[in-house]
Amino acid sequence: MSASFRFSTSVSPLQSHEFPRMPSLLKPRIHLPVLKPMTIALSRVVLPESLKVAASELPKTVVEPAAFREAEGLEVDSVTEAELKENGFRSTRRTKIVCTIGPRTCDFEAIEALAVGGMNVARVNMCHGTQEWHRDVIRRVRRLNEEKGFAVAVMMDTEGSEIHMDDLNGAESAKAEDGEIWTFTVRAFDPSSRPERTITVNYDGFAEDVKVGDELLVDGGMVRFVVSEKIGPDVICHCTDPGLLLPRANLTFWRNGSLVQERNAMLPTISSKDWLDIDFGIAEGVDFIAVSFVRTAEVIKTLKSYIRARSPKSQISVIAKIESIESLNNLEEIIQASDGAMVARGDLGAQIPLEQVPSVQQEVVQLCRELNKPVIVASQLLESMIEYPIPTRAEVADVSEAVRQQADALMLSSESAMGQYPDKALAVLRSVSLRIERWRREEKHYDTTDLPVVSSSLPASISEEICNTASKMANKLEADAIFVYTKTGHISSLLSRNRPSCPIFAFTPMTSIRRCLNLQWGLIPFRLDFSDDMESNLNRTFSLLRAKGMIKSGDLIIVVSDILQSVQAIKVP
């Protein structure tokens, strides 16, 4: 049988408004011989001429700038290159890792160590530090990418308008012991005149709203106090659950077993400080802005329109943090309006019963995948590693479950920002992710989730169906990798959504898109200039990858692009 084979589809006049179903490729009878050097054999799903559209008409998730950065070869970091050389395609980690940068990890060498250890996205938290401090961090990440070939993206997290503590006079933490008396106040102090065990709260109405007998929870319950007395602007509390107090930790209070919500009913989701920080993020060209305490989709829409107005060519993606009861009540609308979501379990666990957090996490992860939005599982993944060099067994099980749910990314917060062992915490996430992913492949747990259609136009439907078909082919044929050539990133995200068993090599001519793709499950982004001639692109890609020792003759590759509406099965010559 010829190495080139073709499936054709046709649409009757009565069905012309619908996208035709691709023929089943689950049991193809095909023979894929090793090809002669630099000869491309294609197995292709070809669409009728009436359905073909130009690549420029395909849906875009980002705005394409006027010019691409010029480069002669293939941009890939040395860590990915070495891993593929030594262990092959199947060894690559599919679950991405976000690391919060803080005092422990803010210098260039520490950031490089995190990137070498597996960090895909560097997060800067605007709750802490100054804009100047964060600017230095962002520019160190950019310098690392330029000098070492990494594609580490930058995520800026807004502070939000919720009640939180001050910065503890610059201390990394403070320990609250059982039975100790602490004062929470709206008064501000000079560092030298602050009374012992006194914390300033950012909400002026705090002393008025709280009542004697209320429970005050720090960081979702990591430390717990009971209000025993009110004296003017001061709220006197005694500690009932001891623990570590971290700078600018979130505060919630409960009365008679219920969360008190009236306190923030009038607070805006995006504060005046947040808008200044957003302007800063736009100016610095961050890749993602994560919005804290999102309550409605309207907030996300407003922010996205603001970004477009301030920077029309900007490719900044907006991530909605799901961490309040209001966000759960409007979950689907919020995720639909966003470019991705974060399950912020710490603050979420302070607003809903703890036993509900796991099911809510699974619901958000599944909904994001159905809507083709990347999702991050965050907060307290390895909390004990702030102080200790190894995690608890329960923490490892928690991380394993997030990987098993196939979340796009896991996030380290205080563990990497101020913990004693940031590199070890990162190594735990990496090793657990690799082990659970390998177990799924060994047991042939191919994803069979019936995903709903997300496309709203004919060109988008074509892209979606092609990616669904390519993923099924890759699983059935046990392909070594999927290659995708994309100028917009959209078709890469559709492939990632299908969670194929093999890695996805995403080739894009744009550095900014390469960084953004680094948040999505299973994608290994490369920067590569390519033309509209797919045969030439494949020849060049094979040549470059073989020169680096990253592929070998006989590897089976499934090829997809937003240039040709086709699926190609190719053995590397």
Do 275 and 287 share a structural domain?
yes
Alpha carbon 181 to chain centroid, angstroms:
40
Do 432 and 399 share a structural domain?
yes
Residues 6+ apart with CB under 8 A from 526: 74, 75, 76, 505, 506, 507, 508, 514
User: For the chain, what is the largest distance between any 2 Cα atoms, rounded to a whole number of angstroms?
Assistant: 88
Per-run averaged pLDDT (10 residues), the chain, 573 residues? 34 32 34 38 40 39 34 77 81 94 96 97 94 98 95 95 84 92 93 89 88 91 94 96 89 86 66 94 97 94 96 94 93 98 91 92 97 96 95 97 97 95 97 94 77 87 93 94 95 96 95 96 95 92 91 94 87 93
Token pair in block for residue 245 = 């107090």
Do 558 and 422 share a structural domain?
no
Give the C-alpha separation, 380 to 100, whole Å. 12
Q: Among the three residues 215, 235, 264, which one is the final residue of a domain in this structure?
A: 264
Do residues 538 and 41 lie in contact, with contact meaning Cβ atoms separated by under 8 Å?
Answer: no
Strands 234-241 and 181-185, by their bridges, are antiparallel
Instruction: Give the domain range for residue 105.
Output: 94-161+267-442
Q: How many CB atoms lie within 10 A of CB 119?
A: 29
Give the C-alpha separation, 540 to 529, whole Å. 10
Q: Among the three residues 231, 264, 297, which one is the final residue of a domain in this structure?
A: 264
**Nearest CA-CA partner of 43 in 566, 572, 573:** 566
pLDDT for res 524 = 95
Counting every residue, how long is the chain? 573
pLDDT for res 18 = 33
pLDDT for res 14 = 30
pLDDT for res 537 = 93
pLDDT for res 522 = 96
Do residues 349 and 383 lie in contact, with contact meaning Cβ atoms separated by under 8 Å?
Answer: no
544 phi and psi, to 5 degrees?
-70, -45
Q: What is the CATH number of the domain that holds 521?
A: 3.40.1380.20
Give the C-alpha separation, 120 to 519, whole Å. 7
Q: What is the CATH number of the domain that holds 236?
A: 2.40.33.10
Prediction pTM value: 0.82
Q: Among the three residues 420, 442, 464, which one is the final residue of a domain in this structure?
A: 442
Q: Coil, strand or helix: which one is 123?
A: strand
Do 155 and 274 share a structural domain?
yes
Give the C-alpha separation, 494 to 467, whole Å. 6
Do residues 564 and 532 lie in contact, with contact meaning Cβ atoms separated by under 8 Å?
Answer: no
CA angle 262, 264, 266 (to 5 degrees): 95
Do 213 and 322 share a structural domain?
no
Do 82 and 49 share a structural domain?
yes
Q: What is the CATH number of the domain that holds 333?
A: 3.20.20.60
Do 501 and 353 share a structural domain?
no
pLDDT for res 514 = 96
Do 274 and 232 share a structural domain?
no
Our count of domains for the chain comes to 3
Residues facing 97 on adjacent strands: 410
Give the C-alpha separation, 142 to 43, whole Å. 40
Give the C-alpha separation, 161 to 124, whole Å. 17
pLDDT for res 3 = 38
